Structure 1
Amino acid sequence: MKIAILGCGWLGLPLAEHLIDQGFQVNGSTTSEEKLALLQQKGIQSFLIEVTEEKITGDFEGFLEQVEILIIDIPPGLRKNPNGNFTKKIDQILQKMEERSLKVIFVSSTSVYGDHQGEVDETIPAEPETTSGKQLLASEQLLQQSENLQVTVIRFAGLFDENRHPVKFLSGRENVKQKYHFVHLIHKCDCIGIITSIIEKDKFPFLLNAVYPYNPNRGNYYTEKALQQNLPVPIFQEESPGKKGKHIISINISYLNYSFQKDLFS
């Protein structure tokens, strides 16, 4: 089986390597000419492709040739470009796939749930409040409405690994808010494991909240994590313990029979 990964970045590149190890053929895209050789060295059939709001540059036809599953893993990029329109980029991709019958995995985010209070699983309607959350939800819906595609949406919690972790951003800060809110994170290894499980179990179409199932409060967790990494601890504002915000869980993870590989202190 051939799989195409649109966006071989922080998650997409190790995902491609893992899928190759599992016996899949992988096409991978990058926007950087310098990265093409790296992808090739790792056994990935590499393509220089850039998706903008107006067009797609590069050999997108070749990228999708004989592909059965397309994984879309391109970030909205609204921090760098607040006026950007990510949904238009997804529409450009859809226009290129109009005549194709494909299975699609769309990498989304739990940010689509906004500031919903209480327990949030896949049956709860998404009500995003941020621009990126709204555009991600619109992109999910755009893909799901396509008659030719079988679309699986994975709403990932905050991604981390040994080198990238939100505690580094919070370390040493004062008056940090949301002390008693739940922590929603997932290790990169489990992101890769869950995507692989969806492919192997042929879960299309499907919707999944991908979040580590143990969710301590922010005050306790980030203090302990900072100490673990020998970083200055963040100082949280005193708030009512009743202010816990949303608690994201997954009921659909049971259909994958997936066992998490990394905990929050990995």
Structure 2
Amino acid sequence: MAREEKKNTRISILGCGWLGLPLAEKFIAEGFSVKGSTTSQEKIPVLAAGGISPFLIAAEKESIVGQMKEFLAGSDVLIIDIPPKLRSENKDDFTAKIKNLVPYIEKSGLAKVLFISSISVYAEDNSAVTETTLPKPATESGRQLLAAEKILQENFNFKTTVLRFGGLIGKDRHPVKHLAGKENLENPESPINMIHLEDCIGIILNIIEKDCFGEVFNAVAPFHPERSVFYTEKAMQMNLALPTFAFDKPSVGKWISGEKTEKVLGYSFIKPQL
């Protein structure tokens, strides 16, 4: 995509958080026009300082609060990057939030949607997983993400690409920090399926530049050591207390292939070894 084409491609990013903000900054650096949303008033000047047109928007299960119509007006692509938030006591109805977005997308005339999802839509059955594998989520988060995917994919007013990320690493975020010193962790022999923030951004940029919509992509680094090996090594590297693992039970997990992402997008991972 030429520089002039980028200037003419207008992107709205719903959710400028851990991934969305650096993604928006990358798009700005590449010459795209970007609108970004946040639920925090304090973050508005942060977005504006980065050259992002800021909007205060909250997707709630009853309605969308904020200037959603203006946020989507004139945009070519909507990137939806809002977390389900289903692990806390105050669990959200994430599917209802996505349903509430749809009429706004339809009325805007916007033709392309990129939905950030997760490999949690797949079952933990020790299988090798590709994009053709039938999703069978075992968690509430996975179930609602899959339902949200279908809501968007089945709407013929716009084309949706679903991007299913593995575990997220980068920018002071690493799951080993939560596992350090813990004992008898399950599934020591299951493979890891993770991806670095830089590759998350790189893959999204490739999807936009290659106009690759109406697709599903698994996005995980081509690096799948066993959990016990990976987390022990990372804890040692970070000088954290070593976790211990329970080897007395069979390990349950999955092996996610990101081969389609590499082949269809022609993408080479920046952080293949994590």
Provide the TM-score with structure 2 as the length reference. 0.93
1:220-235 alignment, distance < 5 Å: 220-235=229-244
Partner of 1:22: 30
Q: Does 1:91 align with 2:99?
A: yes
Partner of 1:38: 46
1:99-138 alignment, distance < 5 Å: 99=107, 100-138=109-147
Q: Does 1:182 align with 2:199?
A: no
Q: Partners in 1 of 2:188 and 2:80 — Cα distance? A: 34
- The one-letter amino acid paired with 1:214 is F
8 A Cα contact 2:183 2:244, kept in partner: yes
8 A Cα contact 1:167 1:226, kept in partner: yes
* TM-superposition CA deviations, 1:146-178 (whole Å, max 9, x none): 111110000000001141100011111111111
- Match of 1:98, SS? helix
8 A Cα contact 2:124 2:252, kept in partner: no
| Distance change >3 Å, CA 71–CA 223, structure 1 → 2 | same
- Match of 2:34, SS? strand
* TM-superposition CA deviations, 1:65-95 (whole Å, max 9, x none): 1100000000001123554210000000002
Q: Partners in 2 of 1:156 and 1:257 — Cα distance? A: 17
Q: Partners in 2 of 1:173 and 1:142 — Cα distance? A: 39
Partner of 2:86: 78
8 A Cα contact 2:11 2:77, kept in partner: yes
| Distance change >3 Å, CA 54–CA 81, structure 1 → 2 | farther
| Distance change >3 Å, CA 182–CA 82, structure 1 → 2 | farther
- The one-letter amino acid paired with 1:202 is D
- Match of 2:148, SS? helix
| Distance change >3 Å, CA 264–CA 232, structure 1 → 2 | farther
The partner residue of 2:258 within 241, 246, 250 is 250
Q: Which moved more, 1:96-105 or 1:29-38?
A: 96-105
8 A Cα contact 2:235 2:242, kept in partner: yes
- The one-letter amino acid paired with 2:260 is N
The partner residue of 2:227 within 211, 215, 218 is 218
- Match of 1:14, SS? helix
| Distance change >3 Å, CA 204–CA 130, structure 1 → 2 | same
Q: Partners in 2 of 1:249 and 1:262 — Cα distance? A: 16
Q: How many matched pairs? A: 264
Q: Does 1:170 align with 2:150?
A: no
Where does structure 2 lack aligned partners over 5 or more consecutive residues?
1-8
8 A Cα contact 2:79 2:113, kept in partner: yes
How far did residue 142 of structure 1 move?
0.3
8 A Cα contact 2:23 2:201, kept in partner: yes
- Match of 1:26, SS? strand
- The one-letter amino acid paired with 1:145 is E
- The one-letter amino acid paired with 1:68 is D
The partner residue of 1:60 within 68, 74, 80 is 68
Where does structure 1 lack aligned partners over 5 or more consecutive residues?
none
Q: Does 1:12 align with 2:20?
A: yes
Alpha-carbon RMSD across the aligned residues, in angstroms, is: 1.3
* TM-superposition CA deviations, 1:1-29 (whole Å, max 9, x none): 11000000000000000001111000000
Q: Which moved more, 1:250-259 or 1:60-69?
A: 250-259
- The one-letter amino acid paired with 2:136 is E
8 A Cα contact 1:112 1:134, kept in partner: yes
- The one-letter amino acid paired with 2:72 is L
How far did residue 251 of structure 1 move?
3.3
| Distance change >3 Å, CA 81–CA 53, structure 1 → 2 | farther
8 A Cα contact 2:221 2:258, kept in partner: no
Percentage identity across paired residues of the two chains: 48
- Match of 2:190, SS? coil
Q: Does 1:205 align with 2:214?
A: yes
* TM-superposition CA deviations, 1:191-217 (whole Å, max 9, x none): 000000000111011100000011000
- Match of 1:97, SS? helix
